Structure 1
Amino acid sequence: MTRTLPQPGRNDLDILKVLHALADPVRLELLHTLSRETEPSVCSLDAYDVDVSAPTLSHHWRVLREAGLTTTFVNGRNRWVELRREDLSARFPGLLEAVLAAFEHRPS
């Protein structure tokens, strides 16, 4: 049985919480990677190129979910995450695209 972890509804998305979640480089990297996925992606450490521990990665996923940037599905011991692209575009048009474009064009 699959369940979805708690997250804010589309109309409850708060710009300050979203911007706070986007302010961390690890979370930006996670979102950038997730934005290229067409299906929900597993939340495991080996699925993302970030240099953090498993508990720290879990923390970052929680911050993204609680800010409303992602949805997390739980099926047994597995967690899958999906970018809430439609909700973010409806609530804050152009924000996600601008952040991802800036991330891709950042100086090395």
Structure 2
Amino acid sequence: MTSTAGLVEPGDIELGAVLSALADPNRRRVVRDLVNGADDNERSCTSFGLDLSKSARSHHFKVLREAGLVRQVDRGNRSGVTLRRDDVERRFPGLLALIGNESDD
């Protein structure tokens, strides 16, 4: 059984929440990895190589989800995450390209 965790409607994606979510380098890295990956390619939340505790990782994905940047699906004992590319691009054209072109520092 799959369930989609709290999805923000496309028109409700707010710039302040998006910028706040992207202010953290770990969350920006997740979004950049998703931007540069294949469209709609679901990834496991543990596949991003973040050197964080499970609770910290969960917090970061919650912030991204609540900002409307990602869609997270619980699949039993793991969670899959996808970028809400079309929704974000419609709301903030060009933002994902900027993040995708940012280098790892």
Contact 1:71 1:81 in 2 (8 A): yes
Q: 1:40: which partner in 2?
A: 42
Gaps of 5+ in 1: none
Gaps of 5+ in 2: none
Q: Does 1:22 align with 2:50?
A: no
State the Cα distance separating 1:2 from its structure 2 match: 1.1
CA-based RMSD of the aligned residues comes to 1.3
Find the aligned partners of 1:23 and 1:3 in 2 and give their Cα distance: 28
Q: What SS does the corresponding residue of 1:82 show, helix, strand or coil?
A: strand
Counterpart amino acid of residue 13 in structure 2: L
User: How many pairs are equivalent?
Assistant: 103
| Greater shift in the superposed pair: 26-35 or 55-64 | 26-35
Contact 2:31 2:99 in 1 (8 A): no
Normalising by structure 1, we get a TM-score of 0.88
Q: What SS does the corresponding residue of 1:8 show, helix, strand or coil?
A: coil
Counterpart amino acid of residue 79 in structure 2: R
Q: Does 1:66 align with 2:66?
A: yes
State the Cα distance separating 1:51 from its structure 2 match: 1.9
